[in-house]
Amino acid sequence: MTERQNRKAHPVRPARKTGVAAKRPTSDRAVTDGAAGNGAETRRGDGLVGAGRVGGTGRTGTDKAEARPEDVRLSRADQTAAGLGRMAKEPVGRLGAGAGAGARAGARSNAGTKTVTIAIADLRARFRAAMGQKRGWMRHWQECYEFALPQRNGASEQPGASGGVSGGEKKFDRVFDATAPDAVEQLAASLMAEITPPSGGWFAFEPGGNVADADREILTARLARAASILQGHFDRSNFAVEMHQAFLDLVTAGTACLRLEADDFLSPSAFRFTAVPLRDVAFEERHDGKMDAVFRKFSLTRDEIARQWPDAKLPRDDRDAGDSPKRYAVVEAVLPDPGISAGYQLCVFFDDGGEISGGLAGEDGVIHRDRFEVSPYIAFRWMKAPGEVYGRSPVMKALPDIKTANKVVELVLKNASIAVTGIWQADDDGVLNPAAIRLVPGSIIPKAVGSAGLTPLDAPGRFDVSDLVLSDLRDRIRRCLLADRLGQSDQPGMTATEVLERASENARLLGATYGRLQAELLYPLIRRAIHILVRRGELPDMPLDGDVVQLRHSAPLAQLPKRVQAGQAMDWLSRIATLGPDALGEVDMPQMVRWLADQFGVPDHLLRPVLPVEAMVETGVMEDAL
């Protein structure tokens, strides 16, 4: 459901916002021209600093887009870059006056650009190609989920996925060794705590490099307030629950998908997250490596289609041969706009080409068309092999050991059952009847005179050898899944140096993966979240371009390099202290303290304020006089 449909389904409650912000629609497309999605788009927002305040009252300009011939001289990107450059160089007091003009210029720029509608035949061909490319991964994903995460099998069709039947079946029937499932859950929880901790504080906004020094102090305070508003919406949403599910998919299959939608105004948060299983989506990768072309397949009834897209042309048939509602295969395609304007096109269509739907679904089975300014789908990968679209996971690397350990435990259990119950042999002497023997305490078994009776048969298996093999396999599984590195340490008495060494090793192990997650998860996630709050009027338009505003990731994993540098500096300072007071006097202690506070993330209000240069000179003169 897009923001515009959500707006229609859930009317806005004015008590949450006042003024123009409370009446602003949340659709990504303000003005449309026809069902194909062509037309002008109205840009709303008060720039970086509006009316001398950032994120204060949420007041924005609502100038309507007007197409003029002289406004199409520059592209949208060029006009945006020019406007942001002027904003960064102007004093803070003048930025409020330029916000309305920037919004009007953006609206006129959007009105001048054109959107090229993707034909439904091309969409179907691209969907079939994406599904064909994904089909080669399904069996591999199935094995990974079956042995490492059976309770969340995101690669196979499950009873609750399409048929509407509640699940509850057993998931661990073929799993005999729980080392891999336990390590997968530990790694997912560690990623959650190290990259996007539920406690918050894993991102911050800072002035970019193109902001004047005189404006940095004011802009820093306003950006801190904007980050606090954004973090509050994350805390009140279901972000922690769905993000953990996405990390489980990432560790198991190497690829995960998160959908961020705008919730209604009656909800405590503006965000609604969904961890999309891999069985429901297929991706395309662009030439620049972005995996933002998404096809998602649904199985919906006629009533569900009507609730999801009220303007859809519904099929005639509503029931199957029985009494159950008929279900239709529906595909939602969110693809980058191939036209001049940025953004993404949304097209919902029947997978059967309109044949089963009776031809009533519009042009060749099309149900609905719309557009997004920022894609609601966020797809990210653990690592990627050249030439492949989908990612590869640590479970894939450890899968041979996982399957071998699972088989070894199965054989050990069979051998253990033989050792407990035993295998017996007896002479056929005409007296002993094996079918009537019950091996219970106190039982009397008759036998012929001179016969051996029941004699036990020794089991050929050796538990000590299987234990050695199994121990080695479990160690390799934990090492591949980083359970012995990122998990809780079993040495509570570690020194500060040992803690820093362990943190440095974690940063080295997750360096490449963390860099990919920054590019594919964190930046698109924050960009989409800011876009939703800008549409609601709770945040100003904040361009995360590095010139005006830059995003700084401040999660524990991002702080590890700083803490390692701080540990090295402390070690150097301790060595300097052994050289005597003269050597220690060469160190600027106030600057050293402030640098260490910044490396360890200590708040500024815990330090004494820095005196101006004039006050420092005056204090020095008075001390000399005394």
- Is residue 615's pLDDT more than 70? no
The type of residue at 479 is R
State how far the Cα of 124 lies from the Cα of 114, in Å rounded to an integer.
23
- Is residue 76's pLDDT more than 70? no
For residue 619, what is the enclosing H or E element?
helix 613-625
Q: Lowest mean pLDDT: which of 448-452, 472-476, 512-516?
A: 448-452
Judged on CB neighbours under 10 Å (0-12, 13-18, 19+), 589 is exposed
Counted residue by residue, the chain has a size of 626
Q: What is the pLDDT of residue 449?
A: 72
Q: How confident is the model at residue 544 (pLDDT cuts 50, 70, 90)?
A: confident
Beta pairing, strands 203-207 & 255-262: unpaired
Judged on CB neighbours under 10 Å (0-12, 13-18, 19+), 126 is middle
- Is residue 261's pLDDT more than 80? yes
Contact 302, 325 (CB under 8 A): yes
Provide CB contacts within 8 A for 268, sequence distance 6+: 236, 237
DSSP letter at 522? Answer: I
Q: How far apart are the first and last CA of the chain?
A: 74
- Is residue 561's pLDDT more than 90? no
For residue 272, what is the enclosing H or E element?
strand 271-276
Q: State the chain's mean pLDDT as an integer.
A: 75
State how far the Cα of 530 lies from the Cα of 608, in Å rounded to an integer.
34
Q: Lowest mean pLDDT: which of 92-106, 523-537, 577-591?
A: 92-106
State how far the Cα of 364 lies from the Cα of 346, in Å rounded to an integer.
16
Distances (CA, A) of 292 to 23, 43, 285, 520, 561: 31, 23, 7, 9, 31
Q: How confident is the model at residue 536 (pLDDT cuts 50, 70, 90)?
A: very high
Percent of the chain with pLDDT over 90: 31
- Is residue 24's pLDDT more than 80? no
Q: How confident is the model at residue 466 (pLDDT cuts 50, 70, 90)?
A: confident
Q: Which of 280, 302, 277 is nearest to 151 (CA)?
A: 277
User: In terms of pLDDT, which residue wins out, 429 or 582?
Assistant: 582
State how far the Cα of 488 lies from the Cα of 507, in Å rounded to an integer.
16
- What are the strands, taking DSSP E only, across 302-418? 327-336, 344-350, 366-372, 377-381
Please count the other Cβ atoms lying within 10 Å of the Cβ belonging to residue 162. 16
Q: From the CA atom positions of the chain, what is the Rg in Å?
A: 32
Tokens of 534: 């800008």
- Is residue 481's pLDDT more than 80? yes
Tokens of 85: 């450059």
Q: What is the pLDDT of residue 564?
A: 75
Place of tokens 């004093």: 91
- Is residue 496's pLDDT more than 80? no
Q: What is the pLDDT of residue 42?
A: 34
State how far the Cα of 17 lies from the Cα of 262, in Å rounded to an integer.
16
451-462 tens-digit pLDDT: 777 777 666 656
Q: How confident is the model at residue 13 (pLDDT cuts 50, 70, 90)?
A: very low
CA-CA-CA-CA dihedral for 582, 586, 591, 592, to nearest 10: -70
- Is residue 75's pLDDT more than 50? no
Q: What is the pLDDT of residue 114?
A: 61
Contact 537, 17 (CB under 8 A): yes
User: In terms of pLDDT, which residue wins out, 242 or 482?
Assistant: 242
User: In terms of pLDDT, which residue wins out, 593 or 424?
Assistant: 593
Q: How confident is the model at residue 242 (pLDDT cuts 50, 70, 90)?
A: very high
Contact 20, 62 (CB under 8 A): yes
Q: Lowest mean pLDDT: which of 17-21, 108-112, 369-373?
A: 17-21
- Is residue 363's pLDDT more than 70? no
Place of tokens 């999660």: 555
State how far the Cα of 289 lies from the Cα of 421, in Å rounded to an integer.
59
Q: What is the pLDDT of residue 104?
A: 36
Mean pLDDT value of segment 392-408:
93
Q: How confident is the model at residue 21 (pLDDT cuts 50, 70, 90)?
A: very low
Q: What is the pLDDT of residue 144?
A: 93
Cα atoms found within 13 Å of the Cα of residue 41, Cβ hemisphere only: 25
3-state secondary structure of 335: strand
Sheet holding 293-301, edge to edge: 281-284, 293-301, 327-336, 344-350, 366-372
Q: Which of 590, 587, 622, 592 is nearest to 609 (CA)?
A: 590
State how far the Cα of 344 lies from the Cα of 338, in Å rounded to an integer.
9
Q: Lowest mean pLDDT: which of 220-234, 380-394, 533-547, 548-562?
A: 548-562
CA angle 196, 201, 202 (to 5 degrees): 35
DSSP letter at 434? Answer: G
Please state the separation of Cα 230 from the chain's center in Å: 16
The type of residue at 306 is A
169-222 tens-digit pLDDT: 667 777 889 999 999 999 999 899 889 998 888 999 989 888 888 888 889 899
Q: What is the pLDDT of residue 324?
A: 76
Provide CB contacts within 8 A for 47, sequence distance 6+: 87, 95, 98, 99, 102, 103, 540, 541
User: In terms of pLDDT, which residue wins out, 118 or 417?
Assistant: 118
Percent of the chain with pLDDT over 70: 66
- Is residue 107's pLDDT more than 50? no
Q: How confident is the model at residue 373 (pLDDT cuts 50, 70, 90)?
A: very high
Q: What is the pLDDT of residue 25?
A: 36
137-171 tens-digit pLDDT: 999 999 999 999 988 877 766 544 444 444 566 67
Q: What is the pLDDT of residue 494?
A: 64
State how far the Cα of 483 lies from the Cα of 475, in Å rounded to an integer.
10
Q: How confident is the model at residue 99 (pLDDT cuts 50, 70, 90)?
A: very low
For the whole model, what pTM was predicted?
A: 0.74
Task: Out of 49-63, 93-107, 278-292, 591-605, give the one with best mean pLDDT.
Answer: 278-292
3-state secondary structure of 545: coil
Q: What is the pLDDT of residue 394?
A: 94
Task: Out of 425-429, 457-461, 470-474, 507-511, give the one with best mean pLDDT.
Answer: 470-474
State how far the Cα of 546 lies from the Cα of 528, in Å rounded to an integer.
17
